[in-house]
Structure 1
């Protein structure tokens, strides 16, 4: 069922836009949704903060950008902007990066709001802010958000985030899963996989404290003796780049570790595609977009068994998960030994490409579009039934939740059979296990 978006007036509110110097996965998610929803007929305004040199107003691919304020001042300014247009919006996608925009405060109750949560930030506030401000951030993310969105809904990107908003934020309201998309998987070379040489490892990440990039240096230092030709490529920029550069030099790892900083997309893709392994040392994610983008190139990932990454990496199938408190070196060593076996390597590469193929920005947009249009028709994003269901209608079997499920059962209940409650994996993929999208 394709949603009808013609003329729908939608605001996508996000802390940054994809061209902001500190943009990351959350900005990619918001932008991919915004431009695809606009292409399908919605009138989309992307409301965000303004970095130095950015235009306050512009249109890109049919999306009208509205930029105002800085890191903190953007929040009250966005609320004022929303209040001034409260009668001219049909729905709002309110993206939370630790702190949401609390847009329901400025909107009529009939305007559905979807608060997008990539991951819970409670443990991260203390890494970036003094104690009093970290406590205030946790207060806003938890109790204030629970009260603000109680008549609306959360959208999460993975089963990990679904559990986290329930267990750590105490959120008991409507919650729907709309995952990230991914690049189209690269085709297998016609003459087979190339021979492996010295180990090539890559990490694509923002250089910020919770990514724990120093653990990758520990790993490289530990493995360099056994693998003198080992190379680790760290791709990405951030406030820790200078400190990391100094640490690489201090440890004598200049011949082993290359810090690439920011690179264009084609250069990043080439570095990932030629790697044996992609790595992540993060203490937790909402998902793991870089993991799936590596999988699209047939590159498995070694990461920690933490929120988000345990969803993006299928342990033993598309990569390997290390216990949260263990060093990565042992798991990387085990992974390299498995990759030495050509048949095992071929199996891993095929599984990675298949897994990446499950995630597509067009399908992500379709899932969000169906939720938004059903919520606009119902006059609310909320629902009493928190389950996602596997249902059959005619010859089609699908996974439905929230207002999409409610509308389907209300309008076609006589022809719809409820088969069962969806598993977490089915809820993530949007289709039954073993079925096709």
Structure 2
């Protein structure tokens, strides 16, 4: 492998921590992994305050942008691509990294790469058109995908996909064959006990389509039958008030905990030996929550999403439920609680650590 210090990668993205989200955490962890290996890393993201600073080895540049639309997405100001091209040329960037086809900064990143004649590596996190939105928003998002999104996917030098389903979506939308680059986690931060318990966990946004309602339905059955069992909802979102209202009248409400957002050590403690319920109906990428659960020694009951299918093929502690009704979910959960499970082998868990994925990304850089 060549000297990583030869490379200077610019991540050009809409959002970056402290904003919370799976994509933001992916970019954050990958940037840190590359910087630790000796690669020079600059992150360019939109934010309220412009300016740059060093974030433990990663130079972060925040650009002024339009106000958020629907609290989700904003646009760079006119002339951003030209100004950014001059800046990145001056600091000696060698590669451009963009993430998810529909973000405005992905288009900017590809344009900058073409202007500077640099290789661009686009990572696709989506596995389908946007779901769980109004018909109007759905139609608009498809239009964006079939114009700007298709441009990003077809123009990038290399396209990576965080799951097999994302790979298939890239093929469907652009006709290109993407290289699978699975999501990853900090395995050490989530390593937990092999001891099983009567804890049920929902970990994710409390929003339409994520499945908190089904998780609560499973919890009602399990908690009524098992006096020592508990249910934990970790996350926040637009429907948190609806969740809390549904919990309030239950006779075992004191054993149902709505935590909101928690830090990794707290999540690890709750996940350790628990059963994670993942009834999502959204177009998921490669959910790191499932990797975190397996790392913590938890079992998983999930819909047929890419990460669950991948894990279920490797370890028996992950169960995929295809039926869209409460009964099979309750049955699968009860079976795990009654029979227990064998945690995933340590070498398998280690395979989805960011240290491994960082080396894979370095290999991609070497190809250009």
The structure-2 alpha-carbon separation of the partners of 1:292 and 1:221, relative to structure 1 and needing over 3 Å to count, comes to: same
Give 1:223 deviation, angstroms: 3.1
The structure-2 alpha-carbon separation of the partners of 1:369 and 1:64, relative to structure 1 and needing over 3 Å to count, comes to: same
Number of the residue aligned with 1:44: 41
Number of the residue aligned with 2:245: 246
The structure-2 alpha-carbon separation of the partners of 1:183 and 1:33, relative to structure 1 and needing over 3 Å to count, comes to: closer
Number of the residue aligned with 1:365: 358
Number of the residue aligned with 2:95: 91
CA distance in 1, matches of 2:354, 2:75: 28
Number of equivalenced pairs: 353
Residue 118 of structure 1: which of 110, 118, 125 is its match?
125
CA distance in 1, matches of 2:171, 2:260: 36
Number of the residue aligned with 1:302: 301
The structure-2 alpha-carbon separation of the partners of 1:365 and 1:81, relative to structure 1 and needing over 3 Å to count, comes to: farther
Give 1:371 deviation, angstroms: 0.7
CA contact (8 A) 2:43 2:60 kept: yes
CA contact (8 A) 1:300 1:352 kept: no
User: Which sections of structure 2, spanning at least 5 residues, go unmatched?
Assistant: none
CA contact (8 A) 2:308 2:318 kept: no
Question: What are the Cα deviations for residues 271-296 of structure 1, in whole angstroms up to 9, with x where unaligned?
Answer: 111x4311112124211211111111
Residue 57 of structure 2: which of 54, 59, 62 is its match?
62
Number of the residue aligned with 2:110: 104
Give 1:319 deviation, angstroms: 1.1
CA distance in 2, matches of 1:155, 1:237: 30
Q: Does residue 30 of structure 2 align to residue 30 of structure 1?
A: no
Give 1:85 deviation, angstroms: 3.5
CA contact (8 A) 1:3 1:370 kept: no
Alignment of 1:4-403 (within 5 A): 4-20=3-19, 23-50=20-47, 56-68=51-63, 69=65, 70-71=67-68, 72-76=73-77, 79-85=81-87, 87=89, 88-96=92-100, 98-99=102-103, 101-102=106-107, 103-108=109-114, 110-124=117-131, 127=133, 130-152=134-156, 153-167=158-172, 169=173, 171-184=174-187, 194=195, 199-250=198-249, 254-273=253-272, 275-283=273-281, 284-314=283-313, 317-323=316-322, 325-327=324-326, 329-341=327-339, 345=341, 348-349=342-343, 351=344, 353-375=346-368
Give 1:187 deviation, angstroms: 7.0
The structure-2 alpha-carbon separation of the partners of 1:254 and 1:81, relative to structure 1 and needing over 3 Å to count, comes to: farther
Larger Rg: 1
TM-score normalised according to structure 1 size: 0.72
Give 1:64 deviation, angstroms: 1.0
CA distance in 1, matches of 2:15, 2:168: 26
CA contact (8 A) 2:9 2:94 kept: yes
User: Which sections of structure 1, spanning at least 5 residues, go unmatched?
Assistant: 376-437
Give 1:226 deviation, angstroms: 2.5
- Identify the range of structure 1 (307-316 vs 209-218) with the bigger mean alpha-carbon deviation: 307-316
The structure where helix makes up a greater share of residues is 2
CA contact (8 A) 2:113 2:120 kept: no
